[in-house]
A and B are shown apart, each in its own frame.
Chain A
Amino acid sequence: MYEATQKISKEHREFLKKVKRKEIAIKITQISLLIAFFALWEIAGRLKLIDPFLFSQPSRMIKTIINLSKDGSLFTHIWVTLSETLIGFALGTFSGIVIAVLLWWSDFASKVAEPYLIVLNSLPKIALGPIFIVWMGNGEAPIITMGLAISLIVTIISLETGFKQVDEDKIKLLKTFGATKFQILTKCILPASIPTIMSAIKINMGLSWVGVITGEFLVSKAGLGYLIVYGGQVFKLDIVMTSVLILSILAALMYVLLVYIEKKIIKWQ
């Protein structure tokens, strides 16, 4: 796989062009589908094929966004949900990594923890929501805890598995150099697990959104989850639809950002 410096042949140029054309076609189709979806939604609403009161409508959603932006409350809601998600995600991922490292370090602890992890993993964490609320009050704490709890156990389990899959011979190699256990961890186990960690991070991001929104459904005074529940209760579907749309855009942006960071970190692939 040396750098190919020879001139590109005509045949190869044709091939590249074909690949490029296909890529462009895919992109155009994707964007058209999106535009068509919103256009049809709008038209169906205007022609009263669907009831805008129940289904909302792109134009009404734009109006809602403008209205909610006027007093700045939209940004407060977005910020509340975003910050809760990021904090819950960061705490869940970080403590997950730390615990996985500890379990890697002590085989005894790992064996002891195994059945508990299995049970906790199969428990739907949402069920713990009311308990968190009772314990922590109705502020942001129980919501952040939901965002944390939902990603913690999967992180521990997937990282511990990842750590164990690192090639034994790589560790043997380090031992021939006289490496300590700590050096084996930092020079080999952790860097070798970066792809595993990155994929856990991507999954956790998604899970933390779920945890936080559910938390906000249960108890909250602000946030997109609050807006959705509030809009539903007062039958303002415009607010609900708008919040869902904003939520999906935020989640997608976050994912794109993570993929970008992943590419920057894993530069050897």
Chain B
Amino acid sequence: MRKVMVELSNISLNYHTIKGETEAIKDVSFDVCEGEFVGVIGPSGCGKSTLLSIIAGLLKPSNGSVRVNGKVGYMLQKDHLFEWRNIMQNVLLGLEIQNTVNENSIKNIEDLLERYGLSDFKYHYPNQISGGMRQRAALIRTLALKPDIMLLDEAFSALDYQTRLAISDEVWTILKNVKKTAVIVTHDISEAIAMCDRIVVLSKRPAVVKNIYEIHLTCDLRSPIGCRKAPEFKEYFNEIWKELDVHV
């Protein structure tokens, strides 16, 4: 049995505003094991970001319990690089906040920048580099803190389609190579099937778990782009599509 990294049991969360109470999450339970990539998919506004905030410890659930084994790294929808900082200063941000900038951590960052092709752009400002590079810089900023669990909240949805395919493939490979655990929120069913080992389908708000799919694809090269040709891909897609029950 693999080590459980995230354990959610009967989580619920209500938001309170003057206008009233919003039941965002009703009853969600699932586990994430070490090295596993779990996709979370569901209709918009159903509480996916809220769920990640709970895992990251930014929000306390109204009910239920969360156990997280290890450090969490969060990647948001936009890269949120600070435009007044150059790339180097941006990737150092998390370390600065945690007061852990030292020779070792800088060396680690230099390595990461080098490995992911950004070392020539260290002193560029975010608006001087492409969207794909910005997303990579944001990834390095998160990896610099050596998280055990990565939370990706529609981390690629601000990119154009081609870049999105390429970057998600790249990020997947990077994260698998360093054996991270990941929870990936996305709207894109194909992206979820391509990147994840398991997919949790949530219902409309208030979110409950509708179904959990184990993804087994037969392909030579298990990478998001490589496995899109797998024969099972379409079946998973159709099943999840039906499960989501989208009406427009």
Contact = CB atoms under 8 A, between A and B. Distances in A.
Contact of A187 (B97, B125, B129): B97
A31 interface: no
Interface stretch (A37-45, A100-108, A167-175, A233-241): A167-175
A194 B84 contact: yes
Contacts of B85: 191, 268
B78 A169 contact: yes
Contact of A176 (B72, B78, B84, B128): B72
Interface hub of A173, A267, A269 (most chain B Cβ within 10 A): A173
Nearest to B86: A268
B234 interface: no
A251 interface: no
A179 B77 CA distance: 20
Given A1-B128, A268-B127, A170 B80 contact: yes
Interface string B76-113: 11101011111000000110111000000000000000
For chain A, give the interface size range.
Answer: 20 to 34
Contacts, number: 54
Contacts of B18: none
Contacts of A175: 58
Contacts of B98: 177-178
25 contacts: A1-B127, A1-B128, A169-B76, A169-B77, A169-B78, A169-B80, A170-B80, A172-B58, A173-B74, A173-B76, A173-B80, A174-B97, A176-B56, A176-B74, A177-B93, A177-B94, A177-B97, A178-B98, A187-B96, A187-B97, A188-B82, A267-B125, A268-B84, A268-B126, A268-B127
B78 to A, nearest CB: 7
A197 to B, nearest CB: 12
Contacts of B78: 169
A268 B125 contact: yes
B120 to A, nearest CB: 10
Looking at chain A's contact residues, the main secondary structure is: helix
User: What are the 4 tightest A-B residue pairs by CB atom distance, in nearest-first order?
Assistant: A176-B74, A177-B97, A177-B94, A268-B125
Interface string B154-168: 000000000000000
A192 B84 contact: yes
A183 B95 CA distance: 12
Contacts of A177: 93-94, 97-98, 145
